[in-house]
Amino acid sequence: MPEVGGDPPVSVSRAVDAYLHHASIELGLARNTILAYAADLARFADYLQRRSVAGPADVLREHVTGFVRRLERQGLSARSRTRCLVSVRRWLRYAAAEGWLEGDPMQGVASPRLPRKLPKILRPEETAALIEAADGATPLGLRDRAMLEVLYGAGLRVSELVELPLAGLDRRGGLLRVTGKGNRERVVPVGQLALDALEAYLGEARPALLGGRSDMADALFVTRRGAPMTRQNFFDRLRRLARIAGIDVRRVSPHVLRHAFATDLLEGGADLRAVQDMLGHADLSTTQIYTHVSRSRLRDTVERRHPRGEARRGRSAG
């Protein structure tokens, strides 16, 4: 809480604790996000302590720029340095809002330039092979196939997928109610193939996996022990299916299927804003990277398939 009246100035450590509490309770940020902020701010607090900075009121622009130089000397990547700066900026804004800081020490501090990195994607035929690798004759196979169809068919984050409640599925309307980052809720349509896979899973596999254990019945996807599915368990299953499908496991992850969902939609003519809504992106610029992926994949197709492409000319020369 902010200091009032004649109370002593708030310390750096207390201001950090107050911000993390605010981010967790009032903003409702995810646990992993809070842990990342805590680690970044612990670095900054250590830097300030070594320079005898008692509280946020004493933080200057030179402290921020010096911190950035220190991170660079320590070998942190541009992406990690940028994330640290974001954490520091949000903490300082919070301190200013609480009346613990005047001015903006971040003014004029530029973030490190990040190379534009296109996300990994799978070709549609590879995605299909991955889904087909799930054995539809077993409860686990039916569950895996349903999870893959939903992940690819609705573009969910893996955390959103494994945390889906049974009540979040509207089978008649073909919709999923998803809770994403920042506890923001969105409704996502589900395609017919995904709905068919869900029907098979819910009718046969899920009851078998639960084995009559109603205490775990809230989770849509469950393990062989009847417990809610976990991120790590699903990732392990995904790697296994990639090996069965003959796909390099290094190219496959739950997020790759989310990328494939977005890219394939855009290549099919979907509106960028609609894709943004389905992915749950707060900023359209985050979604726009998939337009670059789409163009990159188109160039690759031309090189492989066109008579004047590099691959075709190489075969002709041989």
- Active-site residue list: 157, 181, 255, 258, 281, 290
Backbone angles phi, psi at 23, to 5 degrees: -65, -35
Q: Which two tokens stand for residue 54?
A: 């008692």
50: buried, middle or exposed (CB in 10 Å: 19+, 13-18, 0-12)? Answer: exposed
Closest by CA position to 169, among listed 143, 145, 188? 188
Kindly compute the dihedral angle of the four CA atoms of residues 86, 91, 93, 95, in this order, to the nearest 10 degrees.
-170
Q: Which two tokens stand for residue 253?
A: 């992850």
Q: What are the Cα distances from residue 127, in Å, to 24, 123, 134, 256?
A: 36, 6, 12, 10
Closest by CA position to 204, among listed 277, 141, 267? 141
